[in-house]
Structure formats: structure tokens, C-alpha cells
Structure 1
């Protein structure tokens, strides 16, 4: 708004009469001054309009994220209600039979009042069969549990900014390298990565990178890796680049997503294969910005994560 007011003042000052007065005072440089101030006023107006447009766009994105979250909550409530209704129908007691006076049956009258007595062995067998039948008929607690399914989106990934303190070739694999990375913890993490033959390992020392920190630690050719370094690669796989966070980022900064505000898992379970499910939707767009389903990798208040030179490629 300040820029808009300043632009309006510039337009009102440099009207034709004022411009003519400047030209009369300095015929040689007056036209240049008038042209400079008019250009400056026009640029200020365009800048104010652009800032207003960006603010509106961010507001719409925030509202869109809230609406999506509300829809997911309503969907979960609807599913829970449907499950409760189904469980009520399945496990409700059957209605009592209507009592009617039976007609006299001549065949029944012919049956003797005293049924034949069973032996002790037959009674034990009948009781054991009855107990087994009760165990089979008893419903399990799992069938009655109404637990909502966990969300499957990028917010469950613990993505953080890290600074590579040192890097060295893997002692047992030519295609792998070992990095010591500061991710804002008391001690650096050891990370084993495949960065490609064209990567200069010495240039990686001291640079920032994006790491997936809640993967389960595993050994790669004898070296324990405690995080995953995110890289992007071309379709042919010959060029591999690390994903770079904003230059003003600090080790330990979270990488978040505007439309997916959930908290990450403490540790990703290998049996759920969450990374394999989400990885196809992790892309670098035509502008070089990393995103998940169109929502950018963002370090809050500092900017977006990008690929150094690649575009329209996968993140892995």
C-alpha cells in the first residue's frame, strides 16, 4: 500500500505542467529527469500490483489447504460412522421368537418322557464340542476395532536441511560415497549415497542438502547409513544432482508442504513401503522447483528447494 501511495504521488507531481517547468529550467537534462521519474513511478506501481497478487495467491493456497484438511476429517468421520453402523447390525442380538401355543401333536405324545441316559464318555465329548464351538463363535476384538487408516502423504517424511561436513569414497563400492552430515543434532549422521561418477566429491564439502531423516538405519556394503540424501536425476540417469535448499537455511530446518501440514513419523516402517509409494510423486518441475503433487518443498520463511540445473525430472 505504501508503494501504491508513493506511485500515485509520483503521477500527480509529474504532470505535463511540472514536466514543462523542469525542461525549461534545464533544457539539456530536463527531459531525462522527467523520463527517469516517470519510469520509476511505473515500475513502483507494477511492483505493488505484483506483491498484492502474490499475497492473494498465498491466501488462496492456505484456504485450499484448510479445505482439503476439513474434507479429509469429514471423510474419516463418515467412514467411522458407517463402520459403527455395520458393526451394530452384525452384532446386535436377534429378536425373540413370537410365542404361539403349539397344536397338540400325536407323535410327540408317543415319545417317552424319559430320554435315554448318556454314558459319562458321551457327556464329556458333548461338553468338549460345546466349548470348542463357543471359542469359534466368539467374535475377535480386531473385527470390532474401528481405527482410522493412517494418512499416506508426504507430511509423514521427516525432511530436513543438512550441511555436508565431509565426504569420502566408499571403501568397498566405487559408485557410492560416504558423507558426514550435520542435521541440527548433537552429532553428525553418517550417510551413504550414490552421487554418480561425474560428481566432484571435494565440491560437496560444506554445502547444504536435503535429507530424509526418519528412515531406518541400514548397512550399505558394510557402512551404516542413518539418513537418505535426496538427489534428482535425468531420465537417462547419467546426470545426478543433489537437491539444494535455500541458501539462508540452517542445518536442522524442516522442509514442509503447505497443503500437507501433518507431523512426520518417528521412523518409517519398512513393511509399509511409504517411501516407495510417495517417490513417484516427488518431481522437479519445469522451473527447477522440487514439489510433491504440485506443492513445493518449502523451508518456512526462507524459500523453496530446487535442483541446480535439471528440470522435469524425478527426485529419489
Structure 2
């Protein structure tokens, strides 16, 4: 039997069936339905009472929260007023002002009594001006130190993104008249005029092989004289030993002026590398050619976007200089 059947005793149902065999079952169903509706009504009334109770409690909590918020606002206002009052300049001492005015009045002995007061007031004003000047100099010094620290923080980041590496085409090649190991090249870097580059490639380098070839150059080095000839860029070479040197080759399809970048080190290069920062000297040990012949910095390849990677023509596992 279900729960509704438990509401009525079996003898009641039997008695109804005996009294009215035709409608006894319908009457019994009516009683069961009425009992179920009565129970649901009672449950609904109980839930309404609980809901009203919760509404009252919520209203009380809301009122308490508003009171706490008002108290916090009052405390904040008092703190602000106290801070402003503590920062305000102290009022002038009335007694000192009256004494100063008394000193400024002519004494019976004559005007000589007013002279010390005038000298003391002028000395105090001079001391005040000196203190103010020292304070301003301190502020300027602090601002200068802050700007210097910011610039030092910006310069402390040293990675390959600071190198302005570009593809260039060697237009002409000749040996340096004062040094057989040095070679002078005129290189097209996609600018208005070619740059003169002095490189130390060794006496065994064949000049005919260099002319007309593409190379990778460091373009933001400071121009410097090398045996009387000003060099305006640095030619990047792969070096297996002092005698074995070959140019780092850009990817096929590169043209003069193409930038060489590093995917893991984005950013714009320095306008000019400062010699005192030794950026190139610090980065050069991490510029290498891997086992596949690809040039990289800390595992990140030299890349000309959209055209490919820079490689050593024949060397592997060697340094770049």
C-alpha cells in the first residue's frame, strides 16, 4: 500500500463498500484526495511562515550592515580631518609677534634698541632661504637619482633584440693596404648609400667568392677606425678555427635591408650600441651555429620573417663572431 492508503483504516474502506457498493470506491478516492490537499496546504503554510521569517531576518541584517557602513564612513572622515590638521602649518606664536612689535617700537634710550631686532630678523630670514635652497637642491638630486635608476633598469636587459642585424650585399672587396688579414667591403644595406665595412677574415679568404654575395651585418655598432679606415658595420662570420672562416648566409630570397630577428626575443634594437655597456661582448658567447648548421642565440634561430633562417654554408657546431 502507498502512503495515501495508510491515511485511512482498512475497516473504513470495507464499511463504505458494504454501504454503497457502486459509489464506495469513488467516495474513498474523494476522502484520499481531500486528505492529500489538506496536507499540501499545511506544508505550504509552513513554508510561507519560514519565508516571512527569513525576510525579517534579512531586513535586520541589512539594517545592521547600513549602520556599520555609516560608522566606517564617519571614522574615515575623522582620520582625513586629523591628517589634514597634522599637515597644516602651525600658527604663529602670538607672544613672539608681540615681542617683535615691542622691539620695533622706539625705546626711551633712542632708536639703538631696534637695531638688534632688525639684524636678528634678517639673519633668520637668510637662514630660512638657505634651508629652502638646500631642500630644493635635495629634491633635484633625488629626481636625478630616480631618473638615473630608471634608465639603468631599462638598460639592464641584455638580449639579442638589442642587435640591429640586417641583410646586406657585398658590392666590392679589397684588401687593406696596411693589413693583409683585413678586408674592406662596400656593402649595400638598402640605404641611400653603401657602408664601408672592415673585417678580419684571414689571408686565405678568396675575395672573388665574397663579391656579390649576401651576408648578415650588425648595423648599430659605433663607427670606428681600423688601421685608418672607418668601419660602419660588423660582418658576421662563422668560425670553426682562426683559419677557417665563412660568412653567415641569410635565407634564399632575402634582399638588402631585410631585418634578422629572434622569435623569442621581440623588441626594437638600440639606435647605437654603447661601448661602455659591452652589449656585443656579452651576447657574442651565446651566438652559435648548431648541429644542423642554423645560426641561433640561446637556441632561438636567426630569422628573416617570411623567408627563412640564417645558416652557415658548411660549418656546424661553431661560434659566430
Question: What range describes the TM-score normalised by the shorter chain of this pair?
Answer: 0.5 to 0.7
SS of the residue corresponding to residue 260 of structure 2 reads coil
Structure 2, unpaired ranges of 5+: 1-82, 88-97, 104-114
Paired position in structure 1 for 2:187: 181
Cα distance, 1:163 vs. partner? 1.0
| 1:257 equivalenced with 2:262 (yes/no) | yes
Paired residues for 1:151-300 under 5 Å: 151-234=157-240, 236-300=241-305
SS of the residue corresponding to residue 175 of structure 1 reads strand
SS of the residue corresponding to residue 275 of structure 2 reads coil
Find the aligned partners of 1:278 and 1:164 in 2 and give their Cα distance: 25
Find the aligned partners of 1:289 and 1:203 in 2 and give their Cα distance: 21
Find the aligned partners of 1:309 and 1:210 in 2 and give their Cα distance: 16
Change (3 A) 1:211 1:144: closer
TM-superposition CA deviations, 1:121-143 (whole Å, max 9, x none): 66655544443333333322234
Paired position in structure 2 for 1:20: none
Change (3 A) 1:190 1:134: same
Find the aligned partners of 1:95 and 1:314 in 2 and give their Cα distance: 69
Task: With the length of structure 2 as denominator, give the TM-score of the two structures.
Answer: 0.57
Cα distance, 1:261 vs. partner? 2.1
Q: Could you tell me which of 61, 81, 86 is aligned with 1:96?
A: 86
Change (3 A) 1:193 1:121: farther
Cα distance, 1:95 vs. partner? 8.6
Cα distance, 1:290 vs. partner? 0.8
Find the aligned partners of 1:135 and 1:94 in 2 and give their Cα distance: 26
**Higher RCO, Cα 8 Å, sep 6+:** 1
Find the aligned partners of 1:223 and 1:243 in 2 and give their Cα distance: 23
Paired position in structure 1 for 2:318: 313
Q: Could you tell me which of 119, 140, 144 is aligned with 1:142?
A: 144
Cα distance, 1:255 vs. partner? 0.7
TM-superposition CA deviations, 1:101-135 (whole Å, max 9, x none): xxxxxxxxxxxx96998476666555444433333
Change (3 A) 1:164 1:133: same
Change (3 A) 1:245 1:132: same
Structure 1, unpaired ranges of 5+: 1-92, 98-112
Cα distance, 1:231 vs. partner? 1.1
Tell me the matched-pair count. 211
SS of the residue corresponding to residue 216 of structure 2 reads strand
Find the aligned partners of 1:128 and 1:162 in 2 and give their Cα distance: 67
